[in-house]
A and B are shown apart, each in its own frame.
Chain A
C-alpha cells in the first residue's frame, strides 16, 4: 500500500523552484537567528509570536491543570483541616518572626544613624502560575506585559530565587531558571560575605548550581547559605538562592569545585512570584542602564564610602557599563548586603568584601597570603549579568560565563 498519492506533482513547475525557495528561507532563518542572538532586535516579533503561542501552551497544559483541579476538589475534609492547622501555625510563626524582623530593622537603622527604618525593598508582588513545565531549564508563566511584567524581572517562590524573565508576551512570559547553564547570578556567601557568581549547572533531571570562580582556599564549606548580592541589576540583595552542597579542593586546580542546591523548586510548586522593587532602595538591584554606581537616594546612604581601590575595577569595554562591573570596591554593596536580611552577619568589618580566608581552611596547596587578592580577581567575571551594550536586552540573557 502506498501511503502517498500523487498530490502536488501536477503543480510541479508552478512558481519558483524548491531550491530557490529554500535559499530564501535559509537566508531568512540565518538573518533571524543572527538578529535574535546578537542584538535582540526581534523583541517585537517575539512578542507577537509569544501571544500566538500562548493559547497552544494553555491547551497543552490543560490536562495537567485539570488533574490538579480534580485532585484539589476531591480532597477529604481531614486533609483540609490538617492543612488549615498547619497554615495557621505557620502564620503565627511568621508573625512572630516579622515582629522580630521589624525590631531588628529599626535597631539596624538606629545603629546606622538613620532616622527611620527603611521600607521593604519589594514594592509590589504578583503571583503567577507556571504554564509549561521546564524545558531546557526555562518555564512559561501566565503573566505578561498586560500585568506590567517586564524583561529581566526577578522571579521568586516562597523559598528562594527561581529565575528571571527573558521574553515577555502580552499574557505570558518566559522565565530562565537560575539552574540554566546560560544563567549566572551574583551571590554572597552569607556566612563569610564572600561574593561570587553562581552559574546554572542543571540538566533535564536535576537542578543545581556551580560556583566556578572560587579559589581553592576560599572559605566555603557545605551548608553555607547563598543569598543574592544585589549586583548585576536584576535581583535585589539578600534573597536566598541556595545552599552549598559539596566542595572539592583539588591540589592541582587553582579553583575549588563548588556545587550548590537551589532553594526554589519549580517541580514541586506551580506558583511563583514576580517582584517589583522600590527604586532607590539601597538593596534594590543596581539598574543596568544608569551611568553610575550611586544607588538611589543619597540620604539613605548611611556613611561615607570607603575609598575604593582602583585595581579591582576591570577594564570596561564601554564607559557606560562600568556601573555594574566593580565587584569589590562598590561602596554601597556591603551596606546593601546587610540592609535587607534582618538577622544577617556583617559582611566584614572593613566595609569591603575582600575575604580573609582562614589559613587553616584552605586546601593546603595555594599560598594563603595571596588568597585575599585572588578572590576578587577570580570574581572578575562578576558582571556576567551586566550588558555588553547598555541595552536591557542583554542583561536578560546573561552572556556565557567564561570570563
Chain B
C-alpha cells in the first residue's frame, strides 16, 4: 500500500479550498465560513510535510492575498509560518485523536488570525470586524470532517 501523496491531489484540493474560501455567500454564512484554504494547508502540512509544507502554504497564501489581501505577501507569510509549525509537529499532531486535533487546530487558527490582524495593524490597514474570530471556532468544528474527507480522497 503506497502512502505517497501525489502533488496533483494536493494542488487540486487546495484549489477547491480556495474557491470555497472566496465564494460569495450571504452575510451570515460569510461570517461563520471558516477559511477552507487554511484548513487544507494545515491538513497537508501534517499529512505530507515534505510534499506540501511551507511552499504550499506560501503559494496558497499568495493566492489568498490576490483575492482578499490589501497587501501582497501578508497571508503568504502567515500561512507559511503556520504550515512550518504544523509540519514540524506533524508526528505529534497525527498521533492525537480527531477531537484533540480540533483543539490544536483552534489554537493554530487563532494564532493565524492574530498574526494577520497584527500585520493589518502594522501596515496601517483597517481591521476587519471582530466577529471574524468566530471563523476560528467553525474551522475547528469542521476539521474532523474535512480531515476525514481529504484522507478518503487520498486512499482512493
Contacts and interface: CB of A to CB of B under 8 A. Distances in A.
Interface of A: 1-9, 11-12, 14-15, 18-19, 21-22, 25-26, 28-33, 36-37, 42, 45-46, 49-50, 52-53, 56-57, 59-61, 63-64, 132-133, 135-136, 138, 180-182, 203-205, 400
Contacts of B123: 33, 37
Given A22-B54, A60-B22, A7 B4 contact: yes
B109 interface: no
A109 B4 CA distance: 78
B50 A53 contact: no
18 contacts: A1-B98, A3-B101, A7-B3, A7-B4, A8-B47, A29-B76, A29-B77, A32-B73, A33-B119, A36-B72, A56-B19, A56-B67, A60-B19, A61-B24, A64-B24, A135-B67, A180-B126, A400-B124
A204 B128 contact: yes
Contact of A132 (B22, B46, B72, B88): B22
B70 interface: yes
Nearest to B98: A3
Given A8-B5, A18-B54, A400-B124, A49 B66 contact: yes
B26 to A, nearest CB: 10
Interface string B105-125: 000000000000001000111
A260 to B, nearest CB: 18
A33 B71 contact: yes
Contact of B55 (A25, A53, A56, A64): A25
A28 to B, nearest CB: 7
Nearest to A176: B70
Interface in B42-81: 46-55, 57-58, 61-63, 66-68, 70-74, 76-77, 80-81
A377 B93 CA distance: 60
B18 interface: yes
A6 B3 contact: yes
Contacts of B124: 400
A45 to B, nearest CB: 7
Q: How many interface residues does chain B have, given as a range? A: 35 or more
Nearest to B63: A53
Contact of B77 (A3, A18, A21, A30): A30
Contacts of B5: 5, 7-8
A-B pairs, top 5 by smallest CB distance, nearest first, are A32-B73, A29-B77, A33-B73, A5-B3, A8-B48
Given A57-B22, A135-B68, A22 B80 contact: yes
Interface string B126-137: 101100000000
Interface of B: 3-5, 15, 18-19, 22-24, 27, 46-55, 57-58, 61-63, 66-68, 70-74, 76-77, 80-81, 84, 87-88, 90-91, 94, 98, 101, 119, 123-126, 128-129, 147-148, 150-151, 154
Contact of A53 (B66, B70, B88, B128): B66
Nearest to A46: B72
Given A19-B84, A22-B84, A57 B72 contact: no
Given A53-B66, A136-B70, A28 B58 contact: yes
Given A19-B84, A45-B72, 10 more contacts: A1-B98, A3-B101, A8-B51, A9-B91, A11-B51, A29-B73, A32-B73, A33-B77, A36-B73, A204-B129
Given A26-B81, A37-B71, A205-B27, A182 B126 contact: yes
Given A3-B148, A37-B71, A50-B66, A25 B24 contact: no
Contacts of B91: 9
Contacts of A8: 5, 47-52
A15 B147 CA distance: 27
A363 B69 CA distance: 42
Nearest to B2: A7
Q: Could you say which of B70, B98, B148 has the most chain A C-beta atoms within 10 Å of its C-beta?
A: B70
B66 A18 contact: no
Contacts of B84: 18-19, 22
A136 B54 CA distance: 27
Contacts of B126: 136, 180-182
Contact of A2 (B73, B81, B88, B94): B94
